[in-house]
Amino acid sequence: MSDDGAPTLWVRDAKFALDATRAADWNGGSVLQSQVFNALSTFLPAGEAFFVATLKEVTDRAGGLPDGVTSREADWFARQESVHLRQHRDYNACIALRHPFLLGFLRYVDRSWVLVRALTTKQSRLALTATLEHVTSIFARLTLQGRTLHEDADCGFATLWRWHSLEELEHKSVVFDTYQGLGYPLRIRRIMMFSVLIIFATETAVLCALLMSHERRLGSKASWAELWRMLRSKTAGAAWRQYWAFFSRDFHPTDIDDSDLIAKWGADAGIRSFVRRSVAQ
């Protein structure tokens, strides 16, 4: 607890040891399930820099934050995301040792975010950030529930994702509350969520295909069968239901109570072993 009785907001400065020889199959030996995570990581550094810059546009203006969001929470969000993006740069460099073409894809990702910034208004950038924070929190929740990582996943990669997931659930409401508090319309965040489904899902699928192809697994019947099982799984069903919940007028990120997951993983010895320093915001 802080001096004013508010919960402590932690920023965990972590550093993960990633084994490049496991880059393609670190998730329990499954190339497909490792490359899905690897593809997601590719989008994160530039995406999280965009999120931080977007919220900063609000906080930089005197009185810019609405009631219900404190500057302490906004700073906390920025600091957590800044550590994430640094770790995912290292992660992506590790993956690129095995898949050098990823360096070109990372340049594409960087340019695409510059284009998004040029083509959007402050309001739509905030809507897009709130949208992607929701998508991230879905993936984070499933990860901390033990539904995306294999028991025998490589410790460095798996713990990085658990650490990131923990902090995503912790700060899941900050941008959403900012967007809502500023009175911005439901319509824009619905449009952004629909756009994310089309554009981000397509980009992720294309990158996964490229990564699988580079591993010579694109034609593997076993991998296609595994993909089919993943798409028909209860985990995919849960993700889909949580995705659609965002379109509801009454939606709020806290509709799903993640406090047990946050308490459990906040005290996890595995995560703590990679954290060099925890700072209370």
Binding residues vs Fe ion (CB under 5 A): 81, 84, 133, 168
- Angle (CA) 256-252-248 rounded to 5° is 105
Q: Nearest residue to Fe ion, using CB?
A: 84
Sign for the CA dihedral angle at 155, 161, 164, 165 comes to negative
| Residue 168 or 258 with smaller CB distance to Fe ion | 168
The distance of closest approach from Cβ of residue 216 to Fe ion in the complex, given in angstroms and rounded to an integer, is 32
The distance of closest approach from Cβ of residue 255 to Fe ion in the complex, given in angstroms and rounded to an integer, is 17
The distance of closest approach from Cβ of residue 193 to Fe ion in the complex, given in angstroms and rounded to an integer, is 16
| Residue 92 or 223 with smaller CB distance to Fe ion | 92
Tell me if 238 sits within 8 A of 142, measured CB to CB.
Answer: yes
The distance of closest approach from Cβ of residue 43 to Fe ion in the complex, given in angstroms and rounded to an integer, is 11
The distance of closest approach from Cβ of residue 62 to Fe ion in the complex, given in angstroms and rounded to an integer, is 25
| Residue 81 or 258 with smaller CB distance to Fe ion | 81
| Residue 180 or 223 with smaller CB distance to Fe ion | 180
| Residue 73 or 168 with smaller CB distance to Fe ion | 168
How far is it between the farthest Cα atoms of the chain? 59
| Residue 35 or 137 with smaller CB distance to Fe ion | 137
Residue type at 135 in one-letter notation: V
The distance of closest approach from Cβ of residue 174 to Fe ion in the complex, given in angstroms and rounded to an integer, is 8
The distance of closest approach from Cβ of residue 77 to Fe ion in the complex, given in angstroms and rounded to an integer, is 7
The distance of closest approach from Cβ of residue 181 to Fe ion in the complex, given in angstroms and rounded to an integer, is 18
- Angle (CA) 63-185-61 rounded to 5° is 15
| Residue 138 or 207 with smaller CB distance to Fe ion | 138
Tell me if 141 sits within 8 A of 258, measured CB to CB.
Answer: yes
| Residue 133 or 177 with smaller CB distance to Fe ion | 133
